[in-house]
Structures are given as structure tokens and as C-alpha cells.
Amino acid sequence: MGHVIKILHTTFGLFGNVFGILLFLAPLITFKRIIMKRSTEKFSGVPYLMSLFNCLFSAWYGLPFVSANNTLLTVLASIGGGLEAIYVLIFLIFAPKREKIKMSGTLFVVLSIFSIVALVSVLTLHGNKRKLLCGLAFAITCIMMFAAPLTVMRQVIKSKSVEYMPFFLSLSVFNSSTSWAIYGLLGKDPFIIVPNAIGTLLGSVQLILYAIYRDNKGEGKKDEMNGSIETGLGKFQEKKLDCVENEMQKNITEKNMEANKMDYEL
């Protein structure tokens, strides 16, 4: 039985890696749009910072001297950390000045916290105490990563549009967190179970919101465009009418002058 559980544990770890890589690759569509438009528009950079924060602690927690049998977690987190760092860099390049300052400050805090926790765990703690500190840091940052899209979810509900909540990102969150939650259950690791169970729940909510509002994608922008077109046409018609009216007034004036001239000659 123990051998079967070990195989299943590794299997779901591999599933978690596959779905996790898809999760980290999901924003490529968003960043292609950002690069092409040279603007971050209304996209939020917070989820990518939180993902980077989580990747740092995930990679650290999975190391053999911190927790046993979690090497697959380190492999995924290392790949994800590299991708998230690229996303954050692109966001910093194309974000408005105010957003750049905010993002840079948050990035500094993220790197500082990770460095402090990593140094404290290596230099002062050993065994279960090291695992407890790193496990708590990993679980908290994991929950923060999954909770980061809450602002986007609120925007979806408010605008009734899923334009800024990509479907593949939501689907990848659900698949990845579900796989890792099962992995944690099989490995009896509460630091992996709890945050990924929350991620599964939030991923489900995102998919439900997408199902409700998927037909409204970009509708607000279309209405705004239509309004602009209608306004422009209205102004054009007004100018046209003014021109016709002026022309008629001019013709009447000319005829009156001709009539007065004829009367004078008579």
C-alpha cells in the first residue's frame, strides 16, 4: 500500500508540474498584447509579483535540507520563478510611471523578505523548526498568489466583462492547485494541502465567473466606440445642416438685393 501511495504521490507531483508550467505560460497571451500595445492597460501586475514571491519560497521549501520528498516542487518553482521574473520586468517597462514606482517598491519588499527568511532558516534553525518556518512562508505566499486575482474578479463582477481575466489562466490555476492539493494529501504535508485547497476553490470561482460573463467580453469598449461614432456622425450632420442653412440665407440675400436693384432702376 505504501508503495502505491508513493507512486501516486510522484504521479500527481508530475501532473502538478505539467499544469503548473501551463499556469506560468498562460500569461503569454496577455504579455503579447501588452508588448504590441506598449501599455499595461487595466491589467494588474500584482498577481505576477505574488507568483514570483511564491516561486521563491516554493523552490526553497522543496529543497532536501528543508523538506523531504518535495524536489518536484523545487523544479516547478525554479521554472516558474524565471518566467514570472520576465513578466514582472515587461510589466515594469510598459507600466505607467506611478505603477512602476509601486511595482518596484513591492518587488524590493518581496526580495528582502525572502532573503531574510532564507538566511534565518539556514543560519539559526534546524530540522522541524526550519521546515516549520519555511513551510509557513511557502503556505502564506501561496495563498497570497491565489488571492491576488480577487481584485480582477471584483472588476469582472463590476464591469460584467471577462476581458481582463484570461480563461486559460483561470483554468490553469484550477488544474494546478487541484493536482498539488492531492499531492499534499498523499504526502501528508499540510503546508502544501491548505494553500492549494484554497487555490482550487478560488480557481473554481474564476471559472464560474467566466461562464457567467464570457459573452460580455469587450462589450463596454464596443459601446464606447459606438457612442463615439454616433457623436461624430451627429456633429457632422449638424455642420452639414449649418452649411445648407447658410447657403440658403446667402441665396435669399442675393435675390433680395437683385429685387431692390430692379426696383431702383424702375
Residue 217 has what pLDDT?
A: 59
Rg (CA), the chain: 30
Regarding whether 254 and 147 lie in a shared domain, the answer is no
Regarding whether 57 and 10 lie in a shared domain, the answer is yes
Regarding whether 162 and 129 lie in a shared domain, the answer is yes
Regarding whether 25 and 148 lie in a shared domain, the answer is yes
Residue 46 has what pLDDT?
A: 82
Rank 58-62, 169-173, 233-237 by mean pLDDT and report only the highest: 58-62
Instruction: Tell me the DSSP string of 133-165.
Output: HHHHHHHHHHHHHHHTTHHHHHHHHHHT--TTS
Q: What is the dihedral of CA 95, 99, 103, 105, to 10 degrees?
A: 140
Regarding whether 234 and 107 lie in a shared domain, the answer is no
Regarding whether 118 and 11 lie in a shared domain, the answer is yes
Regarding whether 124 and 142 lie in a shared domain, the answer is yes
Average pLDDT, the chain: 82
In the listed set 214, 234, 252, which residue is the last one of a domain according to the structure? 214
In the listed set 175, 196, 214, which residue is the last one of a domain according to the structure? 214
Regarding whether 195 and 230 lie in a shared domain, the answer is no
Regarding whether 257 and 176 lie in a shared domain, the answer is no
CA distance 66 to 131: 5
Residue 104 has what pLDDT?
A: 93
What is the domain range of residue 11?
Answer: 1-214
> The whole model's pTM is what?
0.72
Regarding whether 238 and 142 lie in a shared domain, the answer is no
Identity of the amino acid at 21: I
pLDDT in tens, 85-130: 999 999 999 999 888 999 999 999 999 999 999 999 999 999 999 9
Q: Which three cell numbers stand for residue 4?
A: 502505491
* Residue 223 pLDDT level (bands cut at 50, 70, 90): very low
pLDDT in tens, 151-164: 788 888 888 888 76
User: Do residues 56 and 112 lie in contact, with contact meaning Cβ atoms separated by under 8 Å?
Assistant: no
Regarding whether 227 and 120 lie in a shared domain, the answer is no
CA distance 80 to 62: 14
Regarding whether 206 and 229 lie in a shared domain, the answer is no
Number of independent structural domains in the chain: 2
Share of the chain above pLDDT 90, in %: 46
pLDDT in tens, 61-97: 999 999 988 999 999 999 999 999 999 999 999 999 8
Q: Which three cell numbers stand for residue 264?
A: 431702383
User: Do residues 213 and 162 lie in contact, with contact meaning Cβ atoms separated by under 8 Å?
Assistant: yes
Residue 14 has what pLDDT?
A: 94
State whether the Cα torsion 155-159-160-166 is positive or negative: negative
